[in-house]
Amino acid sequence: MSTKEIFKRLALPKHTDAVYELLREEGPMIASGICEKMGAHRPAVYRALSALLAQRFIFVKEQGRRKVYHAASPRLITLAFAKAASDVSGKIEKQVIADDLYKQKEIRFLHGFNGIRAAFDDVITHTKNGETFYRYTSEKNLDAVNKYLSKNYRALRDKKKLERMVISNPISGTRKKPRLERFIKFISSETSLFDQNIIQLIYSDYTSLIDLNTERVLIIKNKELADFQKVIFKQLYDKLALP
């Protein structure tokens, strides 16, 4: 591959290949000599010199008041191109992996009112009859959160006889009505502020994070991650005092 093609792929400006090849063939030169030899305008030559210096494809030495430009080893160009190609390949591979995960619905991003409603519905859809799901909730306004729930959310939840364990802040938690299938403890406001307006749901093989501030949702399907979060939840729940 020619120097011109490599520099083009590295997105270097016009004339960089010509300047570099001139310095290789003619030896060290000052900027005015390069302009004269190439018959190019000074601004274009200086742009090329600046780009080549940034890539370390050339270097400069002071000779009195003059700056003399030298061509570096062509091997540096080969290494830079190989690194650029590797970086591009790595980015493509990461994007492919991310796309595959998204297509397999391992990771989902939702937003807006409907996105949050879908996140709550997802708990009912993927939690089996009689199972338990877990909820951290630091919402600032319980009434506002309840508006996100589908009309049949509670009916479907009760029909499947789902139990839920909840760790809440006192402001929200004390407003929840007692239920046989709900077990709730509070993060004490005296020891830790728990009002970030974030909800985390852990159910089946899923972990869901709901940011009520921005109405954005992240849902991850990963059994190991969900099991990991369940262990942490249970350990914390056991250490919290009853309301």
Q: On the CB side of 183, how many CA atoms lie within 13 Å of its CA?
A: 14
pLDDT of 242 higher than 80:
no
Which class in CATH covers the domain with range 3-76? Answer: mainly alpha
Say which range, 6-20, 25-39, 152-166, has the weakest mean pLDDT: 6-20
Across 13-37, average pLDDT: 89
Q: Residue 179's pLDDT is what? A: 60
pLDDT at 106 over 90: no
Strand locations in 44-179 (E): 58-63, 66-71, 107-111, 132-137, 163-168
Confidence of residue 97 (pLDDT cuts 50, 70, 90): low
Rounded-to-integer distance, Cα 185 and Cα 237, Å: 7
- Mean of the pLDDT values across residues 48-63? 88
pLDDT at 48 over 60: yes
On whether the CB atoms of residues 189 and 129 are closer than 8 A, the answer is: no
Does the pLDDT value for residue 134 go beyond 80? yes
Q: What is the model's pLDDT at position 176?
A: 60
Domain boundaries, the chain: 3-76, 105-239
pTM above 0.85, yes or no: no
pLDDT tens for 163-214 read 999 998 877 656 665 565 568 888 876 656 788 999 999 999 999 999 999 9
pLDDT band at 136 (very low <50, low <70, confident <90, very high): very high
Residue 166: predicted pLDDT: 92
Q: Are 132 and 140 in contact (CB under 8 A)?
A: no
- Whether 82 shows a pLDDT value over 90: the answer reads no
Looking at the predicted structure, is the pLDDT value of residue 222 above 70? yes
Distance between CA atoms of 173 and 181, rounded to whole angstroms?
Answer: 15
Give pLDDT, residue 75.
80
Q: For helices 16-26 and 31-38, what crossing angle results, to 10°?
A: 100
What are the residues whose beta carbons fall under 8 Å from the beta carbon of 183, sequence distance 6 or more?
Answer: 163, 164, 165, 166, 237
The average pLDDT across 120-129 equals: 95
Query: Which residue type, as a one-letter code, is found at position 230?
Result: K
Interacting residues of 112 by C-beta distance below 8 A, sequence separation 6+: 215
Local confidence band at 100 (pLDDT 50, 70, 90 cut-offs): low
Cα torsion angle, 6, 9, 15, 16, sign: negative
Burial class (CB in 10 A: 0-12, 13-18, 19+), 225: middle
Select from 3.30.499.10, 3.30.870.10, 1.25.40.390, 3.30.70.1140 the CATH code of 105-239.
3.30.870.10
Same topology, domains 3-76 and 105-239? Answer is no
- Predicted confidence band at 80 (pLDDT cuts at 50, 70, 90)? confident
